[in-house]
């Protein structure tokens, strides 16, 4: 989540879902967007998304994702975005979105991409999430990150329930100031002054990655598939590991994963819990 647009929020959400699944092949992953941009389904759908399945708006209105979840590429499940998402006036702290996900039988990890504002369902996503990932790429998005943490703290949520990831860092930018200060150094210094927790991992800006979503073919390709072996590929692998470790540290018990049994050994045990993360 970030109140500032253009920080790589949707790219992070979609690709983290893919990398988290790649790291743990038996872990169920569901991702959906509260924005109207179809970026997620364009990356994950095996074929053009069928209109037979409910979109996010219909699922929220019905208070069930049962008819909306679709299998996607890389083993990641997704829900179609809604062209228009009705607002919700209920108090986010009441946990409506979390209750809907639980009642729908959603298991594993849930990655939610939000709008670039702090209204309505965005706040419900923040309230539902075990961990909020806040991308920061410049001074404006740093100020936006402060607003996100202030919102969570206003609900009594500790700062450990959110963490900043420095995103779209341009390594070519240097600031001569007695030494050579990089953009990442400037941002980390500003975040430290604000007292905001930050992932050690970061994500660089990359023309190669940008071309995976904007190209003459109109295709949207994951970084794991289209930029394997690149610097950003390694950064996202590291971020996915760090994110999973952070989620596990928030609860005495790790995120449950399905029990894998050999053929004929009976049905595998269904996991009893799930965690959600909100970029």
Tell me how far apart the alpha carbons of residues 107 and 118 are, in angstroms, rounded to a whole number.
26
C-alpha dist (Å) from residue 221 to 14, 79, 89 = 10, 18, 36
Q: Which two tokens stand for residue 78?
A: 């997704």
- Does the structure show a pLDDT above 80 at 80? yes
* pLDDT, tens digit, 9 for 90 and up, residues 172-203: 888 876 566 889 999 999 999 999 999 999 99
Q: What is the mean pLDDT of residues 116-145?
A: 93
The pLDDT of residue 86 is 72
Q: What is the mean pLDDT of residues 62-85?
A: 92
Q: What is the mean pLDDT of residues 34-45?
A: 92
Q: What is the pTM of this model?
A: 0.86
Mean pLDDT across the chain: 86
The pLDDT of residue 49 is 56
- Does the structure show a pLDDT above 50 at 252? no
The pLDDT of residue 50 is 60
- Which residue carries 């009642």 as its tokens? 103
Residue 129, helix vs strand vs coil: coil
- Which residue carries 């990359």 as its tokens? 206
Q: What is the mean pLDDT of residues 129-142?
A: 96
* pLDDT, tens digit, 9 for 90 and up, residues 205-238: 999 999 999 989 888 999 999 999 999 999 999 9
The b-or-e profile of 198-236 (16+ CB within 10 A means b, else e) is bbebbbbbbeebeebbeeeeeebbbbbebbeeeebbebb
| Residues facing 198 on adjacent strands | 164
């Amino acid at each position: 989540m970030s109140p500032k647009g253009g920080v790589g929020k949707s790219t992070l959400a979609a690709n983290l879902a893919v990398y988290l699944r790649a790291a743990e092949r038996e872990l169920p992953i569901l991702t959906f967007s509260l924005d109207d941009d179809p970026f997620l389904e364009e990356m994950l759908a095996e074929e053009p998304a069928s209109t037979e399945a409910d979109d996010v708006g219909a699922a929220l209105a019905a208070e069930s994702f049962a008819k909306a979840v679709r299998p996607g590429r890389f083993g990641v499940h997704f829900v179609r975005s809604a062209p228009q998402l009705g607002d919700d006036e209920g108090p986010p702290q009441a946990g409506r979105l979390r209750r809907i996900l639980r009642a729908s039988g959603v298991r594993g990890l849930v990655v939610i991409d939000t709008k670039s504002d702090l209204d309505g369902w965005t706040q419900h996503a923040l309230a539902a999430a075990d961990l909020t990932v806040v991308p920061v790429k410049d001074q404006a998005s740093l100020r936006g990150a402060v607003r996100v943490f202030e919102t969570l703290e206003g609900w009594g949520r500790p700062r450990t329930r959110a963490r900043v990831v420095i995103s779209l860092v341009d390594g070519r930018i240097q600031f001569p100031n007695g030494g050579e200060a990089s953009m990442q150094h400037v941002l980390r210094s500003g975040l430290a002054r604000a007292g905001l927790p930050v992932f050690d991992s970061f994500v660089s800006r990359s023309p190669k990655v940008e071309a995976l979503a904007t190209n003459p073919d109109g295709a949207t390709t994951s970084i794991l598939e289209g930029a394997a072996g690149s610097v950003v590929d390694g950064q996202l692998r590291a971020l996915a590991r760090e994110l999973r470790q952070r989620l596990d540290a928030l609860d005495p018990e790790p995120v449950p994963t399905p029990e894998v049994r050999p053929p004929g050994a009976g049905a595998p045990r269904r996991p009893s819990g799930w965690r959600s993360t909100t970029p």
